[in-house]
Structures are given as C-alpha cells and as structure tokens.
Amino acid sequence: MIPLTLQIAAEADKAFVTRLRTDSGQLQDEMDSLLLADDEGGTVFAGHRGLISIDGFNGEELAGDVLLVEPEMGRAERLLRSQSAHNTLLVTERCDQLCVMCSQPPKKTHVDRFDHFKDACLLAEADSVIGISGGEPTLYKAELLDLVETVLTRRPDLTFHILTNAQHFGHEDIAKLRAPLYDRVAWGIPLYSSVPAVHDFIVGKQGAFQRLHASLGALLQAGARIELRTVLMSSNLADLPALSQYVAARLRFIETWSVMQLENIGFAKNRWSELFVDHSRQFDPIGKAVDHALLHGIDIRLFNFPRCSVPASYRALAPASISDWKRKYQPACAPCSERDLCSGFFEWHPDDEAGTKVTPL
C-alpha cells in the first residue's frame, strides 16, 4: 500500500502546505520547497517555512507532491501526489448518517483545515481531478463551496469530484450552483434502494430517502453533474433491478451510475459475512439492472469488480476503479492480459478469499 503519511522533522512551528521540487528550475510558487539533500535515510527540502527532513523516501519518489506539514505531530500528509490520478481530500470526519458498511466511520469532532486544502489545490498538477470526501463535506457547506469557488476561479483547469449524502441542498443553493464554474464539479451521491425504508436502514437515518430526493431536485434545477453511487450488499441485491427501473424512470438526468462492490474495512469489516455479496455467484440481479440501465441510455459502471469475476459481456463496464494507494493484485493476476484495465482488490480484502476469485484472462 502506498503510504500517505510521512515521518518528518521541520523547523516551522505551525502547520503549512508546501510542494516538493527536485530542481530549482521547477520552482513556481513561494510555497515550493527545493530538495537539498537526498540519501538512503531520507531527504531534506528547504522552503518558505524552513527545512523539512523526510525519513524513508528519496527525492524522486516525492517530486511534485503537495504536503500538509504538521511539525508538532512530526508528520506530513501527502495531500496531492503528482504521479497519481487518485487524490482525495478528507475535509471532515463528522457525518449525519451512520451507514451499516461505512468505510470511514464518523467521528464527533471536526478539525477545520479548509484553508490548507485551498493552498494545496492551488498547487495541484495541471488538469487534475481532485476528490473531496468525508464524513459529510456539506455539513460545512459554506466552507466547502468557498473552497470550490476560490480554487476554480484561480485554477480553471482543475475539476472536483465531491462525495456527499445530499442531505443538505435546497432551493437556496440553486442560483449559486448554476454558476459556470460548477460545470467543473461532479457530485457523487449514494442511493442504495428504490424502497425508502431499505435506503434509510442502510444509511441509519429515518427520512434520508425523502431528503435525498429533495436535494436531487435542487441539484437538477441547478444543472449539477451527478454520479449516482450504489454499494452492493445482501440487503439491496434483490432490489437492484427495481432500482435500475427507478433510476431510468425518475433520475435520467444523472451523468453516470456506479454500482460498487463492498470494502472490507470500517463497519463492514465486522459485518462482512452478513453484508458481502459474491457477485461471481450471484450476478443475475446485477446483470438485469445493468441491462435495463443500458437499454434506457443510463451510463452505468461496475466499480471494484475484478474483471475476471464478471461475465465477459459485462467486463467493459468494470474499470480500474480502486485508487492506486489502496489497490492490490493477487499473484495469480500477474499473467493476466487485462490486469492494467482491472480494479484488482482493495488492500484490505481478505487474501484467502481474493485468491480463489482470480482467473487470469
């Protein structure tokens, strides 16, 4: 797994954002730090906030990365990795839902780092897509939208993909979200069932289905770009064909629909046997849902589905969806001709289970 937290020592006394450079010709901003020393033990960079010593990495491994350096903690977070297409900012760990399979169990506390995230985004590689996640980012909607507008005004080459439970949009947001810069924002919104009680049970919040649709109405009027997201579980597998009919009939304005396999982490880890669906054995309702969506012009994708575990006629819908820092392949995947196109497995997926699912293509 690619480490996102680095052990550091820094001269500064407060947290700050910096971009690491290995050549003086690459310096573009006062927030850049230049490589001074590089050996087997680590690297030393110098920038506007003094020296930063980073253990266990060489300069080339970190070149171009944007870090949030926290001297008092002796650590730095790799907020944006220059060589990755999978950069996501965790803007809060608070949430107003309690999903049964949540991969990022919520906390009651919040640390406001929006100013640091703004600084980081402004240093991003050209044409980057930056993810924003939580917790629930729209619990801090004003700060979130200020970040988006500040960054996209100064960096019109960037795009945001924001995960939200869509419980907090209303008529008052429509005019703001109609601004042209929001054309570069996609909202990833979960809908787990066409049955309100099932959706509400999965997210742990009564009335969530109804409130979600009120938000979707506001987003529709604003012309927002929406990715619908459905995590596959035993509790919603049978309803998937009906959900597909619901999406085709009532939510045709979405940009895409991602049906996602479960992660063995967070709340799902201790409920794995209860929640997990072996799609290689129970693909029929998934196939019916996909067929109906495609028939009605809905762009649908199968996220986190290893390609060899999906019937051949559906493999083109299963992209390499798992972020590089948490993706692994089994040894048996080595000779597969489609490995580079495949999601593989989450780093924390049980090896004994994953190994039995691999049939190289």
Encoded tokens for 173: 């947001």
Quick one: average pLDDT of 113-140?
A: 98
The pTM of this model reads 0.96
Portion of the chain with pLDDT greater than 70, in percent: 99
pLDDT score for 257? 98
Whether the per-residue pLDDT at 130 is higher than 90: the answer is yes
pLDDT score for 353? 77
Encoded tokens for 186: 């996609």
Q: How confident is the model at residue 309 (pLDDT cuts 50, 70, 90)?
A: very high
Q: Which of 75, 28, 73 is nearest to 47 (CA)?
A: 28
3-state secondary structure of 45: strand
pLDDT tens digits, residue range 76-111? Answer: 999 999 999 999 999 999 999 999 999 999 999 999
pLDDT score for 358? 87
Quick one: average pLDDT of 157-184?
A: 98
Q: How confident is the model at residue 221 (pLDDT cuts 50, 70, 90)?
A: very high
pLDDT tens digits, residue range 240-291? Answer: 999 999 999 999 999 999 999 999 999 999 999 999 999 999 999 999 999 9
In DSSP notation, 95-145 reads -S---TT-SS---S-----HHHHHHHHHTSPTT-EEEEESS-GGGGHHHHH
Amino acid in the structure at residue 157: D
pLDDT tens digits, residue range 277-295? Answer: 999 999 999 999 999 999 9
Residue spans of beta strands (DSSP E) within the chain: 5-10, 16-21, 32-39, 42-47, 50-55, 66-70, 75-80, 87-90, 129-133, 159-163, 185-190, 225-231, 256-260, 300-303, 327-328, 345-346
Q: Which domains does the chain have, with CATH numbers?
A: 5-80 (no CATH), 87-303 (3.20.20.70)
Task: Give the sign of the dihedral formed by CA 2, CA 4, CA 7, CA 9.
Answer: positive
Asked if 155 contacts 130 with a C-beta cutoff of 8 angstroms, the reply is no
**Average pLDDT score over the chain:** 96
pLDDT score for 355? 63
Whether the per-residue pLDDT at 356 is higher than 80: the answer is no
pLDDT score for 41? 84
**Paired sense of beta strands 50-55 and 42-47, if any:** antiparallel
pLDDT tens digits, residue range 9-20? Answer: 999 999 999 999
pLDDT tens digits, residue range 327-346? Answer: 999 999 999 999 999 999 99
